[in-house]
Amino acid sequence: MKLRKLGFLTIGLFDGADPRPGHESTLEIIELGERLGFDSAWVRHRHLQYGVSSPVALLAAASQRTSRIELGTAVIPLGWENPLRLAEDLATVDILSGGRLNPGVSVGPPMNYDQVKEALYPDTAEAEDFGHGRVRRLLGFVRGERASGFSGVQGFESFSDRVEPRSPGLGARMWYGGGSLRSARWAGEHGMNLLTSSVVKAETPEGPGEPLDFAAIQLSHIRAFRAHHPDGERARVSQGLVVIPTDSATPAQRAKYEEYARTRLPRTTTPQGPARLMFAPDLVGTSAEIAERLHSHAAFREVEEVAFALPFTFGHDDYVQILTDIATRLGPALGRPAATG
């Protein structure tokens, strides 16, 4: 397939002692992405860490500093959220952005749940369901299902039985972050879009004789998703590998990037941990070199959209260089023309 949409993903790191500069840097990077012609900018979600803890609020700010670029979350872990309240926030930001929000979500217990459950769910910690039911509730509210048995006038106030404000197009822009066959199938069955990343579960790909490697596993997820989606082959999938072009990098930057990838490479050779997670190697090199590796990547050949992940620990100037090279050199090398103004 030909690359149609070019996006990027950032974690939005900040200094806990002085958090504003980090948040401002993230907003400036999103503004830069729009100027460079990116189609989308995505923000990671981190709780009780030094990365963006409220991506919906940050993207509300970004919506007022941009006019065209789509704004996504990759991903909101729903174990921390009330689906009804989140639906209100998402719809509000979508309205403010002019219909540019792309919410990505995932399920599962909150990270370090035993340590945070008393603060998060002091009365219901053991009763909470962190499965797909949470996504179904969110989808229903976003898509206009009733949230209340009452609507009409009460005293001097008017009430709706559905989430307000309504943003009718938002339901079609809901994404599921999945790294397993089960998740891919579920997302397809429920008409969501699929976010794939640089992490998958080490499952045997569908079809005999296929090797157990990252690209083959991710390809099996994409095909399973589309096989179960009402839109079939037209169902949207976005791939999020870590991509670091070095075309305009300084020698010091290039050395830093190569060392970053080198230290992370061992985890890509075999499945990691009880969940048997497989990690994709970081792609570092010139845009021509990265394009060649992507064109040989079985899963990349199946997608029309990407949200290349920025490394978590780099500085603002590094991100400017990487994004500029992606937009002006790598994107065109992958078949997507550079922005002309």
CA gap 239, 245 in Å, rounded = 17
Question: Mind listing the pLDDT tens digit of every residue in the chain (341 residues)?
Answer: 789 999 999 999 999 999 999 999 999 999 999 999 999 999 999 999 999 999 999 999 999 999 999 999 999 999 999 999 999 999 999 999 999 999 999 999 999 999 999 999 999 999 999 999 999 999 999 999 999 999 999 999 999 999 999 999 999 999 999 999 999 999 999 999 999 999 999 886 544 555 578 999 999 999 999 999 999 999 999 999 999 999 999 999 999 999 999 999 999 988 899 988 999 999 999 999 999 999 999 999 999 999 999 999 999 999 999 999 999 999 999 999 887 65
In angstroms, rounded to a whole number, what is the distance separating the alpha carbons of residues 34 and 137? 33
C-beta atoms surrounding 126 within 10 Å: 7
Q: Assign residue 109 a region: left if phi > 0, alpha if psi is -120 to 50, beta otherwise? A: beta
Contact 76, 105 (CB under 8 A): yes
Name the residue ranges covered by the structural domains of the chain.
5-333
Place of tokens 């050949």: 301
Model's pTM, two decimal places? 0.95
- Please give the helix or strand (H or E) that residue 137 lies within, else none: helix 133-142
For the segment 290-317, what is each residue's pLDDT rounded down to a tens digit? 999 999 999 999 999 999 999 999 999 9
Is 5-333 a CATH 3.20.20.30 domain?
Answer: yes
